[in-house]
Structure 1
């Protein structure tokens, strides 16, 4: 059991927030597989302040989705305070998370996301503002630093704790690394040793045995899983088994994996409309087929999906020819 600002989390496994991936449908699937904490895609605080209609649906929580976090990003303290209040009210989330780790150039180069790691004083003001606005526990997700010559995650974590953050999540790469190379767990361990609040370790959890390994190595309180669950929500069940000292289950047969994918796309269509759900299904369904022999033909069909009928037709073909 991990406690973040009074919020109890039974399983020390978190689904990392990922734009275009962790929508309500996918979060629902991951919770079924054992995710103890889920988080929305990142939402612009500025967009919330301007009442952008596209941003509000991103904050919608699933039925019984608790404990869960809503993530916002931005670097204007006034806007972040207001955005946090809106995000908490709209989502009903237990936790508001601040994105100080996004490495995408258009975000980071404008001073948002990991850009805040270059301006720790502003980052502290942002954290304090979000805590005032959210009126619930606030966590902060960040990286090791901007580049290998300016790694400041330990000092940054201490500053976030002092500002009032209830927990931090650390991705073991710099902004410049993006997602390349290997995550450096040594720095996550250094952060854990430097603060008294819970620490979530993020980076390179790709198989069940990686969860106990990252927690053992870093001393962190929770493992946060990101790209490892692309098309593979069963990673949570595997990690949970490994943490419990149980045999790690194999992923289900391909037919069952396809059924899960279809259910995800149906839930997404009900939530955001068939057109958008099917456009997003193009990459997501391809992830579900990663490593499946002779799947090339169906991957070519998947990139043309525009309706749920297309999804059903492709799925029938996969089951007929590949299962």
Structure 2
């Protein structure tokens, strides 16, 4: 009797669960139709990603083929992982990995904390006019194009540029910034920090603006100074935003800016300036080795994807915040 009662209650529970799922599904569909205007706003973004992000994935097939333009993607013969093996066996493989990872990691270590520091400092400014002036000045470099920025780097740091003119004026010896491979990394990272720090801190300023003034007032009443309020109020407030942006940054760790690296390359600094994106451009387009270039680019994307999953899982484990 007890078994029959237990079985009946189990069946009843399953039926109610199925019924609840059906109700939830209907209510979800109903809510979508009731708010269809809001979902229409998503339509342009969905179309954009389908046309420009998902449809081009079809072209990844050439990484596994000996692509010939006259035969097309489907007509070209399959070669499997031959292009990947060729890249892994190349004498440039480890140099490219070292240059790309080294540049990316240093850029992340130096460039990622800077917007947070600037946002915290700006948030503590009392004089509004001076604060807006500083914000305008540090935002402005973001709107300079990469071509102009590379030109500015050459104007300032070339053998007869502004920096060397000042150095020689005071009796020093001119420094070959654009010829020494060891100077490429500092110039690349420094110019990137100068250009993007002000723009990147907007997100953190928005997060800090959401902190209730009452929390700061309560902390002040408890005897907290500015540093303690930054440490215990402001930083925890922007931490979820910082974690999400860190995950996205690590997910694009290998996607260095091709344009600036290519424009800043010279024949003498190329051993340190050659990275995977510039190598793909030179081999895949300039030398018309489309399959090999696609294979190198696909390898780069897979590494980024793996890093994204690892960092997201690690962030969720230690902080509870993640992309999914």
Q: TM-score range by the shorter chain?
A: under 0.3
Q: TM-score, normalised by structure 2?
A: 0.23
Larger RCO: Structure 1 or Structure 2 (Cα < 8 Å, ≥ 6 residues apart)? Answer: 2
Could you say which structure has the higher strand fraction?
1
Which of the two has higher C-alpha Rg?
2
